[in-house]
Structure 1
Amino acid sequence: MPIHNLEVAQKFNKLANLLEIQGANPFRIRAYRNAARVIDSLSKDIADMIAEKEDLTELPGIGEDLAEKIKTIIKTGELPLLKQVEKRIPSVLSELLEVEGLGPMRVKMLYKNLKIKSIEDLKTAIKKGRVRKLAGFGEKTEKKILQGITHRYEYAKRNRLADTFSIVDSLIRHLKRDKTVKQVECAGSFRRRKETVGDLDILATAEDGKKTVEHFIKFEEIAEIISRGPTRSTVRLRSGIQVDLRVVPETSYGSALLYFTGSKEHNIAIRKIAVQKKLKINEYGVFKGKKQIAGKTEEDVYRQINLPYIAPELREDRGEIQAAQKKQLPQLITLESIRGDLHCHTSATDGNADLAAMAKAAEELGYTYLAITDHSQRMSMTHGFDKKAILAQIKAIDKLNEKMKKLVILKSIEMDILEDGSLDLPDEVLKELDLTVCSIHSKFNLPQKKQTERLIRAMDNIYFTILAHPTGRLINQREAYAINIEQVMQAAKERGCILEVNAQPDRLDLNDIYCKMAKEMGIKLAINTDAHSVSQLDYMKFGVFQARRGWLEKSDVINTLPLQALKKLFKR
């Protein structure tokens, strides 16, 4: 029974939340939260690491006890301590913890003071004005909680793209064990690389459809078989994701793949063109009258309506068909075009050791440069910045660069944009760096005008290089803060600032629509991982997926440039 990283991380996060409600030792709670964060950030399945006898205690913050708990989850699917804690805490508290804006202590207050026993109870209490009377709440908090309840229902329907990859890989590996299966692929929003994915649509060709279906429903992660037939089956996995398998004839595979990849809007537009040519396109093929004239491959289907192949990431009916008709489809950026990463962090506990490890990993990826952008808070004292710490890291980077053969480490820092738009380090320090990465980490709820002015004022600083995760959203967790994105983009263009496509699976910020907007406005972007560990350097692929959905080409992205050309862009 394969257990994926997401499930392990969820168990540790839930345990930490429930222990906090209980008032447990803060260090213990922090250890479980750290375990969840570390496991969720791994690019490799923790189950595979255990199977390959890798030492889990080498992961940051994972000691012998946590390593054993992880192994127990992978082996049994359960975390015994979590089960024990759940028995002592009312189930409604776990449900309330899923609402944006409600942390463990607020949940505890709501339950203790207002006897909240369900989400509906909470909504009723808010409407009656009872919540705002609690210490530390208020009318604004009530509104935020109501928004969180709405978002919770929306989020429950879809999963982060990154979380579905290991599941899809497991499904496809399972299907390929049936030696009669010839072709198999996951279509739908997964194939279009949308940032969130709902149901999974698996298409296959096989010698015996019924045999393939019977093999499919033996997949270990299935919790419920919803339907089964001679060529198709629908199941629900233990994770809650619904999977639809369709076994189609080889002569229809391309048309079925096109149809089930979508989007719905793209398919409708394709069918309209076919009708004008007196053809019919559906999941079974391209038909002229009753005769099938194409359908084996997607290229064949597009060819019948005089269109070149359109990459799945573009199939959203946002102008891709018109561009194809004019032979103006973008040459989408690829992972192989990336020459370096401009937003990465070392750990707070062993920065210099991590520096060398990050550099080595980047070199192994074929990169020619890597920017180390540790948070300015990490390089600061309690009051004011610690210039010595910053200069010490600069010196460490210079020393390491002398040893590197193919990679240059760029000196940088991730700085906070303060409420008034100033940066939290003085120019005398910033001028010593190759570039800066600037971001908002506080005061998310400012009015749109003030938040927009804050960002633009920050970009006025001549040492401002990259605006990191520009809208601040966290997928399925937190909405973007209110800004006039067009004004921010125009300001970036006028000042020669770069906007980031942050590849962290929780962020993917800018989103695809804003990527396309930036491209059309002539603004340069950087695809960065915001990596906090060596394994997170692999997140670059998710940033590239997002960039492709936003029509970005190699020329739109600055970290496809050689180092010398890149450095010229940094000078304002």
Structure 2
Amino acid sequence: MAIHNADIAAVFEEIADLLELENANPFRVRAYRNAARVIRDWSRDVGEMAMRGEDLTVLPGVGEDLAAKIREIAATGSSALHKMLRQQTPPALAELLKIPGLGPKRVQALYHELDVQTVEQLARAARDGRIRRLPGFGERTESRIRQSIEALAGSMRRFKLAVAAQYAEPLARYLRMVPGVKAVEVAGSFRRCRETVGDLDILVAAAEDSPVMERFVAYEEVAEVLSQGPTRATVILRSRLQVDIRVVAEASFGAALHYFTGSKAHSIAIRKLGAERGLKINEYGVFRSRRRVAGETETSVYASVGLPCIPPELRENRGEIEAARAGRLPHLVELTDLRGDLHAHSKATDGHDSLREMAEAARRRGLEYLAITDHSRRLTVAHGLHPQQLLAQMDEIDRLNAGLEGITLLKGIEVDILEDGSLDLPDELLGRLDLVVGAVHSRFDLSRDKQTTRILKAMDHPHFSILAHPSGRLIQEREPYDVDMLRIIRHARQRGCYLEIDAHPERLDLQDVHAQMAKEEGVLVAVDSDAHGIQHFDNLRFGVGQARRGWLEKDDVLNTRSLAELRPLLARTL
């Protein structure tokens, strides 16, 4: 039974939730949450490591006790502690902790004072105005809870892209090994690199006598078979992710791949173009009357309507068809175009690895430079650096650079943007760095005008280089703060500084529409890992996917430049 990193992390997250509801030691709760985050992002399969008997304490923050529980989960799918806590706690209470703004104390108050045990009961209490009467809540909190419930309802059945990848990619590899299978592609929103995925659409080209359908429903992670026929089936995995499979002949593979990749709006627009030419386009091919004229490849489908092949990430009916018709389709940035990474953390603050370990890991991934941007002092939860600590780190980077080969460390900081728009460290210190990455980590609830003014003022600082994760959102956990992004982008252009796409799967921020806006306004975007450990450089692929959704080309991305080309661009902002 395969156990993915996301499965182990989910058990640890729920253990932390249940312990919080029991008022357990906060250090114990934090240990499970930190371990869940590390495991979810780990580049290797932790369950496989456990089954091979490898030392799991190499995972940051994982000691012998947590390692034993990981081995237990890898072997059984759960743990005795998890089961015990579930038996002791009303089962729906843990779900309430997923509502933004509801910590364990508030959940306990709602449970004891209003007998709220489910999300539905919480929504009813909010509608009835009963929550605002409780001490420590009020009308504003009640309104936020109501909004959060509505947002959660729309996202509960969706999986973050990186989590979906943990299930999609092994399943695709499994199907490629089946006799008679010629090609396998994961289509749908996953192929378009959407931030979240509702289900997986898998397309298979196979010979008629291939046992691919039988092997698919027999896959060890299938929990339930909803339907099964000779060419299509739908299953639910143990993770509750739905997977739809469609088997087609090789001659139809391109047409089916186009059809099942979507988006729906894009596919309808292409079919209309076909109809104007007397063509019928469906998942089986492109037909003139009953004669198939195209469909073996996606390129042939687009060519049938006079267009070049449009990259999957652009297929949202947001101008890509018009651009293709006019010969203005962008040549989208590739992962291999990245020359460096301008946002990463070391164990000096909340990272897991040393400067040297981070540098060597970046070099192994083909990067030429890496900016160390640990947190500034204001972010105490991340053990942010005080001025003397930052000065010491700068000296250490100089010493390392003298001996490193094939990689250069840049001296930076992720400095907090304070509520008044000032920065968290003094000018004379910031001026000694190679770059300054500014970030909002507090007061997400400011009004649109105040939040925008705050960021604009920070960008006016003479040493400001890059605005990190510009909307502050955490996918499915925290909504973007209210800000005028067009004003910020235009101010960045005037000021000569840059914006970031944070590649962490929980952020993917800038959002795609804002990345496209930055491109149109002539503002360069840095695609950064926000790595807190050596394995996090793997997340750059998700950042590049987001950049591609934003129509970004190689020249639109700051860190596709060589170090010699980058330094003058950074110097303009310092």
Question: TM tier, shorter chain?
Answer: over 0.9
SS in 1 for 2:499: strand
Whether 2:387 is the aligned partner of 1:387: answer: yes
AA matched with 1:355: L
Alpha-carbon deviation of 1:394?
Answer: 0.5
* d(CA) in 2 for partners of 1:169, 1:80: 30
Q: What is the match of residue 343 of structure 2?
A: 343
1:492–1:523 Cα contact (<8 Å) kept: yes
Q: What is the match of residue 493 of structure 1?
A: 493
* d(CA) in 2 for partners of 1:122, 1:363: 50
SS in 2 for 1:327: coil
Alpha-carbon deviation of 1:157?
Answer: 2.2
- Describe the superposition over 1:493-527 as per-residue Cα deviations: whole angstroms up to 9, x where unpaired: 11011000000000000011111111011111100
Alpha-carbon deviation of 1:48?
Answer: 3.0
* TM-score, normalised by the number of residues in structure 1: 0.97
Structure 1's 359 and 271: CA in aligned 2 closer, same or farther, altered over 3 A?
same
Q: What is the match of residue 113 of structure 1?
A: 113
Farther off after superposition, 346-355 or 368-377: 346-355
Q: What is the match of residue 509 of structure 1?
A: 509
Q: What is the match of residue 170 of structure 1?
A: 170
Q: What is the match of residue 404 of structure 1?
A: 404
Whether 2:170 is the aligned partner of 1:181: answer: no
Q: What is the match of residue 86 of structure 1?
A: 86
1:380–1:386 Cα contact (<8 Å) kept: no
Alpha-carbon deviation of 1:352?
Answer: 10
* d(CA) in 2 for partners of 1:173, 1:50: 22
Q: What is the match of residue 159 of structure 2?
A: 159
Farther off after superposition, 46-55 or 255-264: 46-55
Correspondence 1:203-214 to 2 at 5 A: 203-208=203-208, 211-214=211-214
AA matched with 1:480: P
2:11–2:82 Cα contact (<8 Å) kept: yes
1:376–1:415 Cα contact (<8 Å) kept: yes
SS in 1 for 2:445: coil
Structure 1's 129 and 350: CA in aligned 2 closer, same or farther, altered over 3 A?
closer
* d(CA) in 2 for partners of 1:382, 1:22: 26
Q: What is the match of residue 558 of structure 1?
A: 558
Q: Percent identity?
A: 52
Farther off after superposition, 371-380 or 499-508: 371-380
- Describe the superposition over 1:92-147 as per-residue Cα deviations: whole angstroms up to 9, x where unpaired: 21121121221122111111122113223222322333212223211111111111
* d(CA) in 2 for partners of 1:52, 1:166: 19
AA matched with 1:343: H
Q: What is the match of residue 289 of structure 2?
A: 289
* TM-score, normalised by the number of residues in structure 2: 0.97
Correspondence 1:175-324 to 2 at 5 A: 175-208=175-208, 211-324=211-324
* d(CA) in 2 for partners of 1:186, 1:349: 38
Structure 1's 187 and 79: CA in aligned 2 closer, same or farther, altered over 3 A?
same
Farther off after superposition, 160-169 or 176-185: 176-185
SS in 2 for 1:436: strand
1:379–1:386 Cα contact (<8 Å) kept: no
Q: What is the match of residue 361 of structure 1?
A: 361
* d(CA) in 2 for partners of 1:351, 1:201: 36
1:421–1:455 Cα contact (<8 Å) kept: yes
Structure 1's 57 and 318: CA in aligned 2 closer, same or farther, altered over 3 A?
same
Give 5+ residue unaligned stretches, structure 1: none
* d(CA) in 2 for partners of 1:134, 1:568: 57
* d(CA) in 2 for partners of 1:195, 1:367: 25
AA matched with 1:206: A
- Describe the superposition over 1:267-317 as per-residue Cα deviations: whole angstroms up to 9, x where unpaired: 111111111111111111011111111111111111111211111111111
1:12–1:32 Cα contact (<8 Å) kept: yes
1:459–1:495 Cα contact (<8 Å) kept: yes
Farther off after superposition, 272-281 or 447-456: 272-281
Structure 1's 509 and 216: CA in aligned 2 closer, same or farther, altered over 3 A?
same
Q: What is the match of residue 128 of structure 1?
A: 128
Alpha-carbon deviation of 1:378?
Answer: 7.7
Give 5+ residue unaligned stretches, structure 2: none
* d(CA) in 1 for partners of 2:378, 2:249: 58
AA matched with 1:240: R
Alpha-carbon deviation of 1:53?
Answer: 4.2
Alpha-carbon deviation of 1:226?
Answer: 0.5
1:209–1:231 Cα contact (<8 Å) kept: no
* d(CA) in 1 for partners of 2:127, 2:304: 58
SS in 2 for 1:437: strand
Q: Aligned pair count? A: 572
Structure 1's 382 and 318: CA in aligned 2 closer, same or farther, altered over 3 A?
closer
1:110–1:116 Cα contact (<8 Å) kept: yes
AA matched with 2:571: K
* d(CA) in 1 for partners of 2:53, 2:296: 44
SS in 2 for 1:233: strand
1:209–1:230 Cα contact (<8 Å) kept: no
Alpha-carbon deviation of 1:379?
Answer: 9.0
- Describe the superposition over 1:54-105 as per-residue Cα deviations: whole angstroms up to 9, x where unpaired: 3210111101111110111111111210110111111121121121221122
- Describe the superposition over 1:329-353 as per-residue Cα deviations: whole angstroms up to 9, x where unpaired: 1111001110110000012479796
Structure 1's 302 and 385: CA in aligned 2 closer, same or farther, altered over 3 A?
closer
1:385–1:425 Cα contact (<8 Å) kept: no
* d(CA) in 1 for partners of 2:28, 2:361: 31
SS in 2 for 1:526: strand
2:350–2:382 Cα contact (<8 Å) kept: no
Q: What is the match of residue 539 of structure 2?
A: 539
* d(CA) in 2 for partners of 1:49, 1:570: 42
